[in-house]
Chain A
Amino acid sequence: SQQGEEDPQALSIQEGENATMNCSYKTSINNLQWYRQNSGRGLVHLILIRSNEREKHSGRLRVTLDTSKKSSSLLITASRAADTASYFCATDLSGSARQLTFGSGTQLTVLP
């Protein structure tokens, strides 16, 4: 099964509203990353949060990490139609695994 699972699978909001997406994972991590994907092609790295960090900001993005609950959230404030995309969390696992493990994604639609 996927290491990271996003919730909800799909989210539809009006422009200007905030969008919150959640990610849960199963095992210890070095860091957790969020990516965005448009049109089923390449992914764009948004933000990385390390396991010893609890919150991180980048522009309109805010990411939180709760290692005790093995969960993370991505908040996009003041959403725009251009934010419409799929958003994936990815975990860099502790231990020997060196590749990122991606969740199944949240499809965000921002309505103008």
Chain B
Amino acid sequence: GAGVSQSPSNKVTEKGKDVELRCDPISGHTALYWYRQSLGQGLEFLIYFQGNSAPDKSGLPSDRFSAERTGGSVSTLTIQRTQQEDSAVYLCASSWGTVSGYTFGSGTRLTVV
């Protein structure tokens, strides 16, 4: 596609429910990244994919967080048993290599009530 697409753009969920966030990167971009941003803060790295493999999962905050990428394209970030501290904007980015600039999606604003 023309840009990085994320869905949903907004998600309100009850504490304890599972949520799934989707990222559709730019076609041909091999690298895909998930970050999250709390209100007024910088970006916190979550996970990075090169193709379908995730060489670096070091940023995932707990075992409630998981991500996968299939076909070298779409990625999903799953948060199980959501907590209020999970509320943030979840940003996905892709790039065609690891030494080029990122293209970001518009993010998913997750609110856990």
Contact surface of A with B, Cβ cutoff 8 Å: 2, 30-31, 33, 35, 40-45, 48, 88, 92, 97-105
Across the interface, which residues of A come within 8 angstroms of B105, CB to CB?
42
**B45 touches which one: A42, A43, A45, A101 (CB < 8 A)?**
A101
Report B23 CB to chain A, min CB distance, Å.
Answer: 12
**Interface contact A42-B107, CB-CB below 8 Å:** yes
The interface residues of chain A, by DSSP majority, are classed as strand
Residue pair B42, A102 in contact (C-beta under 8 Å): yes
User: Given the complex of chains A and B, what is the CA–CA distance between A55 and B41 in angstroms?
Assistant: 28
B48 adjacent to A41 (CB under 8 Å): no
CB <8 Å contact, A44 and B104: yes
A/B pair count, beta carbons within 8 Å: 60
> Which range contains the number of B residues in contact with the other chain?
20 to 34
**Whole-angstrom distance between the Cβ of B98 and the nearest chain A Cβ:** 4
**Quick one: which of A30, A41, A102 has the most chain B CB within 10 A?**
A41
Closest to A50 in B: B99
Distance in angstroms between the alpha carbons of A102 and B59 in the assembled complex = 13
Q: Please list the residues of chain B having a beta carbon within 8 angstroms of any beta carbon in chain A.
A: 4, 31, 33, 35, 37, 39, 41-43, 45, 48, 50, 55-56, 59, 89, 91, 93, 98-107
Cα A20 to Cα B20 with chains together (Å): 40
The 6 closest A-B pairs by CB, nearest first: A45-B101, A104-B42, A102-B43, A42-B104, A42-B106, A98-B98
Taking a contact as CB atoms under 8 Å apart, the answer to whether A45 and B98 are in contact is: no
A-B contacts besides A41-B106, A44-B104, A99-B59, 16 pairs, CB < 8 Å: A40-B39, A42-B4, A42-B106, A42-B107, A43-B104, A45-B101, A45-B102, A88-B43, A97-B56, A98-B48, A98-B56, A99-B45, A100-B33, A100-B45, A101-B45, A102-B43
